[in-house]
């Protein structure tokens, strides 16, 4: 069997259930959501099954007593919810799912053994991902978050909600066993994280996809930070409606480069220096050249524009004339279409993967790059799917600031108010400069 | 400050001392050697300082008693050796070194604390890498290895050497403390590996370069395995002396593709299926197409030939005529020269890095790729430096089998005995097909 691309090697028949483990308010859902987003971005079918959502069908707003070990009725319902979630997950695996994430406390050995055996019987590998936390500040922040966002406490008094939630955590603590705490779970494949990455224990990770997930989770940190994104200033090729190339900035592009330092100060609100990543092409490097000298700058080949191969330097009209079949094939499946001798959006995502890994680990990064590359990076943060992301409008002369939060990413835009052509193109169009008002983003 | 490329981000002023920890015969030197090779391949200045080598200056062939805790004379000499090694390492850091590896047992808390404080005082970060092992088979294999390869036992009776070495291990065991075993070293940055990767504990890994080293070490395994390398069969562009492109195989190239299955059987000695990685270009895919149907095949964009940019499809003579300055600049520094709109060897190494990571984790892989890419992969295994590797001769129609061993890599070549042009080119030459007898490899 022949497969393309680097993502999913050896994963052909691999199915993995990532089983979250940990007390409430330890960031399990945050981790699950990040992992799912990362995997989907790499076109790996991934889905989270949250046991709490199943339980809420029968018990929408239970009090802490519901979670007591002596509450047999509560325990029955909680077990039924877990069974329903796992059953749905297994059905999803049978229909082509690759990585299922079981988001629940799974805080006892018995429950973990049951998940393991149930998955094994269907040929699904299991990896336990435990989040432990004894940092009171982190836990309190999570509790605050839960009492304001969890459907369990919707419409209730915040103080009472927090109190009840703390009581619920106590209930779990009484039966909670950390994975392999007693040394009798060493046959399990697991990743244990203390205080989100301060210490990590990895046990029996073997294959490609497992280690990929583990490496990604290890790169996560939860210090608050933002990422700044910008396209290069308007280039001479932009003016001509030509794609690719290595052109200089236009006069207006120069103005944008000169204004960028001010835009950044406006967006940060202080004088802290950012680290700047550009591509190796003239137009991004030129756009960065008026930034303060205490900004470190790094040029990445991996941030170069999508390689248009034989179409490099052509206008869309020229492409349509010269390669009509390619022009049509690209519009039919823009994400997967690979230019002759060039790249597809999928190829760009693969070469960007180490950069995203790096970004998760870093703080205060400004990326100055190109339309297609910026679309891929934006899609990662904003969970745009691969059908839409290649069609998004990312205007020139606009600084974008993204700030990841526990649930989703917050976006701010800072337009430089310096005119520039539009390089957005709608499906089927060969216009040099099209009005993007009908675009996705 | 502006830097190029993706390797070494945030590492600008970073200096890291990797301090090996563990009893004798736990594979410390193997790990140190692999890490050094990997880092050097990425152009990160790395060097191993083996305390045993320093000790041998004063005590070339000591018996086990030398290592007894009650042997004050021995202890003094061993401490002096550690001090000399660390002093040399710090001098090397001052002259531009980035990652120094201190290869010794470092088996007591006191010794580790001393190394930490000494490095810290010079602004060098410290990461402890401990190899623990309770797998008797692994330990015995290491002991067998040491008694035949260690200068400590050169010329001695193998059985007596093994016995003495076991006694030496016992001496160390009496004082050995695993890192953070008592919970009072949790301020240290460390990586602890049980039985080479079965279980891994990671503590306080923070920055980019640290996590890069850790991720690489986690990918290592020590099951015996080989890697098979081949260029595509001779292509039509090869016949014309043209570089790059996406040409079909020549008639002789087709013959090679047909013979490849037989060459592989000859090299494996059995019928086990290999996994085949090709590039996305026609000539490598065509070369793989007669392999048995139980060989999984995967196409990697990252295995495509070095992108010659504006020179793609030209002969060397045409390049010299059209871009004389480029032709000269490339010959002056072939590893770092980047074709206009294309790539350098350094760029290729960066995009190959995930592939090498993958290779370290995999077994039974056959890579069918291109001259420049194969040179980079070969350089990784054979520790060729970046000055020589771009000039190596990698003939067409030859299967290469590489088998990593504890110290170095073993190479076998299986020529198909099907004639092909030479695509090797000496410095300054514009010949289409040059005799490679004066080449490096």
Q: Given a cut of 80, is residue B247 above it in pLDDT?
A: yes
For residue A203, which residues of chain B lie inside 8 Å, CB to CB? 198-200
Between CA B154 and CA B140 the distance in angstroms is 19
Q: Please give the Cα distance from B40 to B43 (Å, whole number).
A: 5
- ipTM of the complex model: 0.78
Q: What is the pLDDT of residue B12?
A: 61
Q: In chain B, which residues have their Cβ closer than 8 Å to the Cβ of A296?
A: 1, 3, 12
Q: Is residue A244 part of a domain?
A: yes
pLDDT digits (tens, 9 = 90+) for B253-279: 999 999 999 999 999 988 889 999 999
Q: Does A145 lie in the same domain as A247?
A: no
Do A48 and A129 lie in one domain? The reply is yes
Domain boundary among A202, A219, A236: A219
Q: What is the mean pLDDT of residues B288-313?
A: 94
Burial of B440 (0-12, 13-18, 19+ CB in 10 A): middle
pLDDT at residue B223, as a whole number: 63
In chain B, % of residues over pLDDT 90: 66
Whether residue B369 is found in the same domain as residue B399: yes
Residues A180 and A300 in one domain: no
What predicted TM-score, i.e. pTM, was given to this entire model? Answer: 0.84
Using a pLDDT cut of 70, give the percent of chain B over it.
94
Output the pLDDT for position A344: 95
The rounded distance, in Å, linking the Cα atoms of A228 and A404 is 12
Q: Cβ–Cβ contacts within 10 Å for residue A294, how many?
A: 10
| pLDDT of B206 higher than 80 | no
User: Is residue A174 within 8 Å of A83, Cβ to Cβ?
Assistant: no
What DSSP designation does B234 have? P
Nearest CA to A436 out of A408, A401, A398 is that of A398
**Tokens representing B238?**
């090869």
Annotate A99-126 with b (16+ C-beta within 10 A) or e (fewer). bbbbbbbbbebebbebbbebbeeeebbb
In the sheet with B398-405, reading across from the earlier edge strand, the strands are A2-4, B297-299, B275-278, B365-369, B227-231, B398-405, B408-415
Residue B171 neighbours by CB distance under 10 Å = 20
Tell me if A256 sits within 8 A of A418, measured CB to CB: yes
What is the average pLDDT across A208-215? 78
CATH of the domain at A411: 3.40.50.1240
Q: Please determine, for residue A5, whether its predicted confidence score (pLDDT) is greater than 60.
A: no
Assess whether B232 carries a catalytic annotation: yes
Which residues of chain B have a CB within 8 Å of the CB of A215?
A: 215, 218
Where residue A440 falls among pLDDT bands split at 50, 70, 90? low
Candidates B200, B208, B300; nearest CB to A202: B200
- Mean pLDDT, residues A219-225: 69
Tell me, what's the pLDDT at A145? 73
Domain for residue B7, yes or no?
no
Q: Which of A36-40, B242-246, B403-407 has the highest mean pLDDT?
A: B242-246
Q: Is residue B370 part of a domain?
A: yes
Distance from CA of A211 to the nearest CA of B (A): 8
pLDDT 10s digits, A351-383: 998 889 888 878 899 999 999 999 999 999 998
> Does A353 sit within 8 Å of B354, measured CB to CB?
yes
| Domain endpoint, select from A219, A246, A275 | A219
Helix axes A371-382, A345-361, angle to 10 degrees: 60
Give the residue-averaged pLDDT of A162-179: 92
Q: What percent of chain A has pLDDT over 90?
A: 66
Note down the domain range covering B215.
14-219
**pLDDT on residue B222:** 61
A110-124, A342-356, B190-204, B287-301: the lowest-pLDDT one: B190-204
Among residues B225, B201, B227, the alpha carbon closest in space to that of B214 is found at B201
- The nearest alpha carbon in chain B to A3 belongs to B298
Number of H helices, E strands in chain B: 14, 13
The pLDDT tens digits of the residues spanning A251-279 come to 999 999 999 999 999 999 888 899 999 99
The pLDDT of B115-127, averaged and rounded, is 96
CB contact under 8 A, B347 and A301: yes
**Domain presence at residue B117:** yes
Greatest distance between any 2 Cα atoms in chain B: 75
A1, A10, A280 ranked by CB distance to B297: nearest:
A1
CB contact under 8 A, A296 and B208: no
pLDDT at A248 over 50: yes
Tell me if A302 and B350 make a contact (CB, 8 A cut-off): yes
B200 and A201 in contact by Cβ < 8 A?
A: yes
8 Å CB contact of A204 and B200? no
Task: Give the closest-approach CA distance of B281 to chain A in angstroms.
Answer: 9
Per-residue pLDDT at A441 exceeds 70:
no
Residue B61 and residue B208 share a domain = yes
Mutate: best of A135, A191, A200, partner B, most B CBs <10 A: A200
Same domain, A279 and A393: yes
The verdict on a CB contact (< 8 Å) between A1 and B201 is no
Residue numbers in A near B2 (CB within 8 A): 285, 297-299
A241 alpha-carbon distance from chain centroid: 32
DSSP 8-state secondary structure symbol assigned to residue B61 = S
Count of the separate structural domains present in chain A:
2
Of B9, B298, B338, the CB nearest to A9: B298
pLDDT of amino acid A10:
42
In the three-class reduction of DSSP (H, G, I as helix; E, B as strand; rest coil), residue B423 is classed as coil
Asked whether the predicted pLDDT for residue A14 surpasses 50, the reply is yes
- Contact call for A351 and B351, based on CB within 8 A: yes
pLDDT tier at B209, thresholds 50, 70, 90: confident
A293 within domain boundaries: yes
Tell me whether residue B221 is one of the annotated catalytic residues: no
Does A203 sit within 8 Å of B6, measured CB to CB? Answer: no
| Predicted confidence band of residue A159 (pLDDT cuts 50, 70, 90) | confident
Both A359 and A409 in one domain: the answer is: yes
User: Could you tell me if B195 and B253 lie in one domain?
Assistant: no
Which pLDDT band holds residue A3 (cuts at 50, 70, 90)? low
Q: Give the percent of chain A with pLDDT over 70.
A: 94
Provide the pLDDT for residue A412: 96
pLDDT in tens, B217-238: 877 766 668 999 999 999 999 9
Using a CB-CB cut-off of 8 Å, the residues of chain A touching B4 are: 280, 298-299
Name the β-bridge partners of A227: A365, A402
Domain assignment present for residue A422? The answer is no
Chain A residues with CB under 8 Å of B307 CB are: 307
| Tens-digit pLDDT profile for residues A286-345 | 999 999 999 999 999 999 999 999 999 999 999 999 999 999 999 999 999 999 989 999
Mean pLDDT of chain A: 90
Task: Look at residue B1 and tell me if it is in a domain.
Answer: no
CATH number at residue A189: 3.40.50.300
Which of B298, B301, B338 is the closest to A350 by Cβ?
Answer: B301
Q: How far is B82 from chain A (nearest CA, A)?
A: 29
pLDDT reported for residue B215: 79
Which residues, in sequence order, are bridge partners of residue B298?
A: A3, B277
Q: Which string of DSSP letters, residue by residue, matches A240-283?
A: HTB-SS-PPB-HHHHHHHHHHHHHHHHHHSS-PPPEEEE-SSHH
pLDDT(B6) > 50 = no
Task: Looking at the complex, report in whole angstroms how far the Cα of residue A201 sits from the nearest Cα belonging to chain B.
Answer: 4
């Amino acid at each position: 069997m022949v497969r393309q691309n680097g993502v999913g090697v050896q994963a052909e028949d691999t199915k993995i259930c990532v089983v979250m483990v940990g007390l409430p308010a330890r960031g399990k859902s945050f981790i699950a959501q990040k992992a799912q987003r990362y995997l989907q971005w790499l076109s790996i079918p991934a889905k989270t099954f949250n046991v709490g959502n199943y339980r809420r069908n029968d018990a929408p707003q239970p009090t802490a007593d519901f979670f007591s070990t002596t509450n047999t009725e509560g325990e029955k319902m909680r077990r039924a919810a877990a069974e329903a979630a796992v059953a749905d997950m297994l059905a999803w695996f049978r229909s082509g799912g690759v990585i299922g994430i079981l988001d629940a406390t799974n805080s006892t050995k018995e429950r973990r053994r049951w998940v393991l055996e149930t998955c094994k019987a269907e040929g699904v590998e299991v990896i336990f991902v435990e989040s432990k936390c004894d940092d009171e500040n982190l836990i309190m922040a999570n509790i605050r978050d839960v009492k304001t966002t969890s459907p369990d406490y919707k419409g209730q008094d915040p103080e009472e909600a927090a109190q009840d939630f703390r009581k619920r955590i106590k209930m779990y603590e009484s039966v909670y066993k950390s994975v392999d705490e007693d040394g009798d779970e060493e046959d399990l494949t697991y990743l244990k994280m203390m205080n989100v990455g301060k210490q990590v224990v990895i046990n029996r990770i073997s294959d490609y996809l497992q280690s990929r997930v583990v490496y990604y989770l290890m790169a996560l940190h939860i210090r608050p930070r933002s990422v700044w994104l910008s396209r290069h200033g308007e280039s001479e090729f932009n003016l001509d409606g030509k794609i690719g190339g290595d052109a200089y900035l236009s006069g207006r592009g120069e103005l944008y480069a000169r204004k960028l330092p001010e835009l950044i100060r406006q967006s940060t609100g202080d004088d802290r220096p950012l680290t700047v990543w550009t591509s190796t092409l003239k137009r991004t490097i030129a756009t960065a050249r008026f930034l303060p000298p205490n900004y470190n700058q790094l040029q990445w080949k991996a941030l170069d524009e999508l390689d248009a191969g034989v179409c490099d330097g052509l206008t869309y009209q020229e492409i349509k004339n010269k390669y009509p079949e390619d022009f049509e094939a690209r519009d039919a499946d823009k994400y997967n279409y690979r230019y002759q001798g060039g790249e597809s959006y999928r190829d760009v995502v693969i070469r960007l993967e180490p950069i995203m890994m790096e970004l998760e680990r870093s703080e205060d990064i400004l990326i100055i790059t190109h339309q297609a590359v910026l679309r891929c990076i934006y899609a990662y943060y904003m969970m745009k799917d691969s059908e839409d992301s290649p069609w998004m409008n990312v205007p020139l002369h606009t600084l974008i600031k993204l700030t990841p939060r526990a649930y989703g990413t917050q976006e701010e835009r800072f337009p430089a108010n310096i005119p520039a052509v539009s390089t957005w193109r709608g499906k089927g169009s060969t216009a040099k400069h099209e009005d993007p008002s009908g675009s996705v983003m």
